Structure 1
Amino acid sequence: MTIPAPTHQDMLAISERLGLGITEEQSKIYAEVVAKSITTYGPVAEISAEDTPLRPAGGSREHTVPTAEDNRHNAWFVRSSITEKSTGPLAGRTVVVKDSIPVAGLPMIAGSNLFEGYVPDFDAEVVRRVLEAGGTVSGKAHCEYLCFSGASHTNVTGPIRNPWGDGYSTGGSSSGSAALVALGEADMSLGADQAGSIRMPSSFCGIVGLKPTTGLVPYTGIPSLDAEFDHVGPMTADVADNALLLSVLAGPDGIDPRQHGVEPSDYQGALDQGVKGLRIGVLKEGFEVPGTQRAVAERVRAAADVLARLGATVHEVSVPQHRLGLDIWSTIGWTGMTETALRHNGIGIYRDDHYPVSLMEWAHRHGSAIDQAPPSVKLFFVISEYVTKHIGYAGYGRGVNAARVLRGKYDEILKDVDLLLMPTTPMTALPLPDPSSGIEDELRTSHPMAFNTAPFDITHHPALTLPCGPGDNDMPVGLMLVGRHYKEATVYRAAKAYEDTGEGAFRP
């Protein structure tokens, strides 16, 4: 790699931008020293090429772009049929991959114009695990623009429409992943969750989605929004398949720096244990968030009653700070996501990680096209830049510190109960915004569904959503179960017991 030698004008421009006060005379000296210093990047690039934990594609990776007729909900980005093994726990099962997760040889746009034309030359670690387990990668699913929205209308190709209501949101940002499983066009899917992006679309589409404990599933090779809350996990039609896919995905890879001491459990073995003896806390504040629909609250409380009849001890608990969970997330997310997207090439820095430099180089070369981002994405940038101008990064720091306090509040309650129970989203699927209504409607409908989901991304607890029947508009209602760190098996116990009753089955 070659970086051109700087001129003294380059030095003056940098000085002005950073407020360094370098003079005209000094700039010439700086230019000479910088020119010599940057020669180090060449040999370092040669050495770094030897670090190849992300496996390149083996053999052909053919794909097709579906026609509009074959993609009525705009959930597919590309279709494929990649199988590397005929045996394994996922043999014969199709897995669609969220289009923010690299699959070697398949194009990836991450819902945006920035990555148009980019084709990864590596598989993310979770994709490698699916293929090693005998699964078939059946394609890439559309997601929201750079995964910034909780709705399903910001993808550069147009909105992803809900399978159960054509004019309704699928939820986001793993929009297509949820829709394709709900439609039966894929057995399973891989989603990513930073503020609820697995659970919100799963709730809106009536499927099962798990945000695992932070670090349980390696994030290696996947573009980041912020390492404080990046998660990747399974989205499936039922609880058993969710546990199966997690059993394939979970466990350390020796690279993701958040995985120290991670030990997977027997998730499938927990499915038949029932709920007798489990203590479930119905989180009071989870039913009081803005926008809560009465029918949603009633459905979720009815699910709690079912679990009580099955033998669980169920009672109301309170964590008043839950009301501030989304606010805490926001002070982290606004700045963290802005820094990653605008300055850190979609990956982030400051971690002892493997960096997919081909993706980072693409993001750097095409980053100027961010001016075409939708208003809800630009809003993050505007808030972050304004706040940073006035208080620097102290707001981000306070957010992370506050998240640790919030985590302690949940942990205190989770000493006395095994699970927390609440609505996944306070409402059922929202109508898609009218494109002619301007930016106000687009901003208003992008994030109100994250009040209950976002807090557990920053406190790192496992959280699963499953359907618990229809709401007033005959759209799915999501029930969320939250467990102690690394206790996904307990979450699956309760979810499977409830699912087996048939009480929550969503029948459009």
Structure 2
Amino acid sequence: MSHLPPVVRPPTREELRDIADLYHFELSEEELEDYLELIEAKMGFCERIDELSDRTETRTAASRDPGYRAGKHEDPKNAIITYCDVGSEADGPLSGYEVGVKDNIAVADVEMTCASKVLMGYRPKYDAPVVERLLDAGATITAKTNMDEMAVSGSGEMSAFGPVLNPFSDDHLAGGSSGGSAVAVVTGQVDIAIGSDQAGSLRTPASWSGCVGFKPTHGLVSFRGVAPLGHSFDHVGPMATSVTDVARAMEVLAGEDARDPRQTTVETAAYTDALDESIDDLRIGVVREGFEFEGSEAAVNEGVRAAVEELESLGATAEEVSIPWHVDGFFVWLAVENEEAAMMWDADNTGYFVDGHYNTDFAEAFGKARRAQADEFAPTVKLKCLLGRYLKEQFYGRYHGKAQNLREDLTAAYDEQLETYDVLVMPTTPMTAFELEEDLSRQEVVNRAQGKEGRTRNTMPFDMTGHPALSVPCGTSDGLPIGMMIVGDQFDERTVVSVADAFERNTDWRERSY
């Protein structure tokens, strides 16, 4: 007779047979019976683990109003999922700032949906470290921002709450997956927003929506408490309408988190000290391949090259460089991300084989919800799971593993140029914002969402290499913003900030039309 607690029952015969089939074991009835008894006996450890507490996290002291669902009359661009009011009495560098956080980032007691019907109603028990740092710096969290469902799309139209509209045109999209964060700062609903970036999800909407978006060096800002896609390429960073506010936010967000498995060495700096600096003698490498992708718009290329000329007029020197690996960075990303994201999904969005803190509350909520409501996920999410699992099963992880090995070559190709140049520059996205279109087929909407048109060809590689990359508005085309991406050496966010700030201080990008 079992002594296991009621919530930890051993498997039934049918369940064990299904598990055996997954491992290609052909068990006889006698073997099946033996393993049922052995498993029941072995599972006694669960009882003791349940008796022990892993509640070592603490909650930042704050007033917490979980708020209400945003309505169209308050939020015509659909940038916000939930308006909330979470603030501490701390006095710090962000006192008086209202901050929006992407709705895949945990704010204790406030609903976190990841823009999916499947997770509606889930309320985290603890704040993500980025939220803790914001509250400790005096900020008030006033919004959970809209996003593409589960952060596996980049067009800005794959949210269960509807598409995020471009702040410059209701006929165009904001970009994603952090589209709500971009639009919330541009429309003045918040002063700063936090987004995540695994393929360009922070930089793409910054480019399309006309704000500054900063993907820091991998691991510089803790990703813990944010719904992951893959530990090796998860990034989180700030968005704002000015380089100054992004630099100020980075000083708050950056730093060590011993419980985040993505971190090894963390090198912080006083990023606001890079503001108002001269860029005399600064060397810029203009990456030729970043202007040559199929689908690149001539006006975007012209706008970014004109921005480089402006930087030269401020004292920098610029030369065109060729990095052939930049083209293949897209394929390396695809091979790594598809399988890693699917395996993360199989692990109920917590993962295995890493040190650090495991979010068991989210794992339980996500695991139950995805098993009960899987059909409600967006087609982008379903494709990610189907393709990633197929690649793993059919090719035994070969393509993921080989691409992981190739990340070293990809990283070295940029590092080699960064020995000569202080920063690398290219368009953030090769084109301006997509039009909002109705009645798209499943294939059409997935292809738009997942970058088939080349939207993320420039952003994806730097999620693989981890280099810091910032998008700053540099002009418009037919009234839509153009973004210039500035890439720096690992942990050299300071130089990236100085270049972006110099351009911003000396130009008005809204008056630069191409």
Shared fold per TM-score greater than 0.5: yes
Q: 1:239 aligns with which of 240, 243, 253?
A: 243
Hey, what's the Cα distance between the residues in 2 that align with 1:87 and 1:321?
46
1:351 is matched with 354
The answer to whether the Cα contact below 8 Å between 1:152 and 1:169 also exists between their aligned partners in 2 is yes
Give the alignment of 1:220-369 within 5 angstroms: 220-341=224-345, 343-368=346-371, 369=373
Give the AA of the match of 2:440: S
The answer to whether the Cα contact below 8 Å between 2:68 and 2:82 also exists between their aligned partners in 1 is yes
Q: Residue 7 in 1 paired to residue 12 in 2?
A: yes
**CA shift for structure 1 position 57:** 6.7
Q: 1:268 to 1:442 in 2, by over 3 A?
A: same
Deviations 1:311-360 (CA, angstroms, capped at 9, x unpaired): 1111111101111111110001111112222x111222221021111110
Deviations 1:65-107 (CA, angstroms, capped at 9, x unpaired): 2222112111111112221025110000111000000100110
Hey, what's the Cα distance between the residues in 2 that align with 1:337 and 1:506?
41
1:29 is matched with 34
RMSD: 1.6
TM-score (norm: length of structure 1): 0.96
Q: Residue 214 of structure 2: SS of its match in structure 1?
A: strand
Q: 2:217 aligns with which of 209, 213, 219?
A: 213
1:430 is matched with 434
Give the alignment of 1:387-402 within 5 angstroms: 387-402=391-406
Q: 1:376 aligns with which of 376, 380, 389?
A: 380
2:448 is matched with 445
**CA shift for structure 1 position 279:** 0.6
Give the AA of the match of 1:147: A
Q: 1:484 aligns with which of 475, 484, 489?
A: 489
Q: 2:461 aligns with which of 437, 455, 474?
A: 455
Give the AA of the match of 2:505: D
Which range moves more in the overlay, 133-142 or 255-264?
A: 255-264
**CA shift for structure 1 position 253:** 1.9
Give the AA of the match of 2:204: M
Give the AA of the match of 1:410: Y
**CA shift for structure 1 position 507:** 8.5
The answer to whether the Cα contact below 8 Å between 1:468 and 1:506 also exists between their aligned partners in 2 is no
Give the AA of the match of 2:305: R
1:51 is matched with 56
Hey, what's the Cα distance between the residues in 1 that align with 2:137 and 2:121?
30
Structure 1, unaligned runs of 5 or more = none
**CA shift for structure 1 position 260:** 2.6
Hey, what's the Cα distance between the residues in 2 that align with 1:25 and 1:355?
37
2:45 is matched with 40
The runs of 4+ residues in structure 1 deviating greater than 4 Å are 56-59
Q: 1:320 to 1:79 in 2, by over 3 A?
A: same
**CA shift for structure 1 position 247:** 0.2
**CA shift for structure 1 position 139:** 1.4
Structure 2, unaligned runs of 5 or more = none
Give the alignment of 1:27-176 within 5 angstroms: 27-52=32-57, 55=59, 58-176=62-180
Deviations 1:2-40 (CA, angstroms, capped at 9, x unpaired): 311223333222212321122110111111111121221
Give the AA of the match of 2:336: I
Hey, what's the Cα distance between the residues in 2 that align with 1:115 and 1:56?
24
User: What percentage of aligned pairs have identical amino acids?
Assistant: 37
Deviations 1:341-392 (CA, angstroms, capped at 9, x unpaired): 2x11122222102111111001111113222222222222232233223211
Q: Give the number of aligned pairs.
A: 504
Which range moves more in the overlay, 27-36 or 242-251?
A: 27-36
Give the AA of the match of 2:419: K
**CA shift for structure 1 position 58:** 4.8
TM-score (norm: length of structure 2): 0.95
The answer to whether the Cα contact below 8 Å between 2:66 and 2:111 also exists between their aligned partners in 1 is no
